[in-house]
Amino acid sequence: MTETTRTLPLVMAAPRGRAKPPRHLADLSAEERVAAAKEMGEPPFRVKQVAHHYFARLERDPAAMTDLPARNRDAIAGALLPELLTPVRVQEADQGTTRKTLWRLFDGALVESVLMRYSERATICVSSQAGCGMACPFCATGQGGLQRNMSTAEIVDQVVDGAAAMARGEVAGGPGRLSNVVFMGMGEPLANYKAVVGAVRRMTSPAPDGLGMSARNITVSTVGLVPRIRQLTEEGIPITLALSLHAPDDELRDELVPINTRFDVAETVEAAWQYAKKTKRRVSIEYAMMRDINDQAWRADLLGDVLNSYGDWGWVHVNLIPLNEVPGSRFTRSRDADTDEFVRRLQAKGISTTVRDTRGDEIDAACGQLAAQE
Ligand code: SAH
């Protein structure tokens, strides 16, 4: 890949005039489930049976759904659970505890998800768009532009696949439970707001309507689409919000996160603070450490002051991400000494700060490396 300085249009809506992904159980509201049963000439509880298999048992093979009438098992399951994601390639790293899957969608679009198992939790990093329109110059996904929004079910199905892999013991460490979801794969989740919130609702609804996960264990990461952050604040779901800040000053952030020219640092951090205030959830500030770009000690001080200007009641946590170097990019990873000093200065201002571990580095599965080249 060569270095690109393209100025992409900041496309906020899905491109028009394309076929939609097939309708799937995970896309349906309660009323739509009843209608779907009717369409198939089946009683409403059939849909509930299939939902139990999919969300509670993580089972999608019709042959295993022995409580469905044998004669139309395939038809019922096929209508409600069309294949949305076809695995193209699976790569493992970190002794089999990190697993990246490249998926082909119904229309040929490619996306990736990454499953990471830790001692006390297992997290899946999911994609919410094929490509991304935000054009952050240090991010691999940002270099290819946006192809399209993903549907609710396309997002949920990545999570169901990860949960099934954990349950079946396919990930090193034996059978376990998928506990966390982060929207840090490909795409800008808040630019696909409706499908993302729908997916969060499917993940948090108790079975058989959903996966019964805790909203607190779901993190939505955003470049800072301020009106959408405000909308999410009113949504009343206690998910964790992560804001990709990467710079405390507009001059630099305009360059690193181009949407900053529309919503500046002050407005963006203010929206994040309102989110924390309303939901009582601590906001996570993402800051990818780029050598001699945004990692100066004075910027750490400025970041601390900007965040503290909204209150020092622990509303925020700073997550420093060692930059994952994208081939051909002019952005490189900060020196360890500079990262240590950055941490020290933020902590000196009373701000909770950690440095993220770099899982999946060698299979290009780390943050910002997902590009789905094939
Ligand atoms: N669009 C969302 C999700 C993107 S990926 C967002 O911007 O928040 C999740 C995080 O990885 C974001 O903070 C993103 O800025 C960061 N990231 C992107 N490229 C990176 C890279 N090369 N190294 C480290 N982090 C990167």
Whether 367 is catalytic is yes
Q: What does the alpha-carbon distance between residue 360 and residue 114 come to, in Å, rounded to a whole number?
A: 8
pLDDT of residue 357: 81
| Ligand 1 mean position, distance from CA 368 (Å) | 5
* Cα–Cα distance list, 347 to 310, 333, 342 (Å): 16, 21, 9
Closest-CA residue, ligand 1 atom 3, reads: 184
For 115-145, letters b (16+ CB in 10 Å) and e give: bbbeeeebbbbbbbbbbbbbbbbbbbbbbbe
Q: Which residues line ligand 1 (CB under 6 A)?
A: 134, 136, 138-139, 184, 188, 221-223, 244, 286, 288, 321, 323-324, 326, 367-368
| Ligand 1 mean position, distance from CA 286 (Å) | 8
Judged against a pLDDT cut of 80, whether residue 221 lies above it is answered with yes
Mean pLDDT of 337-342: 98
Mean pLDDT of 341-360: 93
pLDDT of residue 365: 66
Q: Which of 59, 112, 188, 286 is catalytic?
A: 112
Q: How many residues does the chain have?
A: 374
Instruction: Tell me, rounded to whole angstroms, the distance of Cα 212 from its chain centroid.
Output: 18
**Predicted confidence (pLDDT) per residue in 264-281, tens digit:** 999 999 999 999 999 999
Closest-CA residue, ligand 1 atom 17, reads: 368
How do 122-125 and 110-117 pair as beta strands? antiparallel
Q: Which of 125, 132, 136, 367 is catalytic?
A: 367
Q: What does the alpha-carbon distance between residue 163 and residue 175 come to, in Å, rounded to a whole number?
A: 10
% of the chain beyond a pLDDT of 70: 93
* Residue 305, token pair as written in the block: 């002051």
pTM for the full predicted model: 0.93
Judged against a pLDDT cut of 60, whether residue 14 lies above it is answered with no
Mutate to test the pocket of ligand 1, among 136, 188, 244, 256 (most ligand atoms within 8 A of CB): 244
Confidence of residue 327 (pLDDT cuts 50, 70, 90): confident
What structural domains does the chain harbor?
Answer: 97-373 (3.20.20.70)
100 DSSP β-pair partners? 91, 114
How much is the mean pLDDT over the chain? 92
For 67-76, letters b (16+ CB in 10 Å) and e give: ebeeebbeeb
Q: Which long-range contacts (CB under 8 A, 24 or more apart) does 76-83 make?
A: 76/40, 76/42, 76/46, 76/50, 77/50, 77/53, 79/36, 79/39, 79/40, 80/24, 80/25, 80/36, 80/47, 80/50, 80/54, 81/24, 81/25, 81/50, 81/54, 82/22, 82/23, 82/24
pLDDT of residue 373: 65
Confidence of residue 311 (pLDDT cuts 50, 70, 90): confident
Q: What does the alpha-carbon distance between residue 184 and residue 115 come to, in Å, rounded to a whole number?
A: 12
Judged against a pLDDT cut of 50, whether residue 8 lies above it is answered with no
Backbone Cα Rg of the chain: 21
Instruction: Tell me, rounded to whole angstroms, the distance of Cα 226 from its chain centroid.
Output: 18
**Predicted confidence (pLDDT) per residue in 162-189, tens digit:** 999 999 999 999 999 999 999 999 999 9
* Residue 150, token pair as written in the block: 């993903």
User: pLDDT: is 176 or 366 the higher one?
Assistant: 176
**Predicted confidence (pLDDT) per residue in 90-137, tens digit:** 999 999 999 999 999 999 999 999 999 999 999 999 999 999 999 999
Closest-CA residue, ligand 1 atom 6, reads: 222
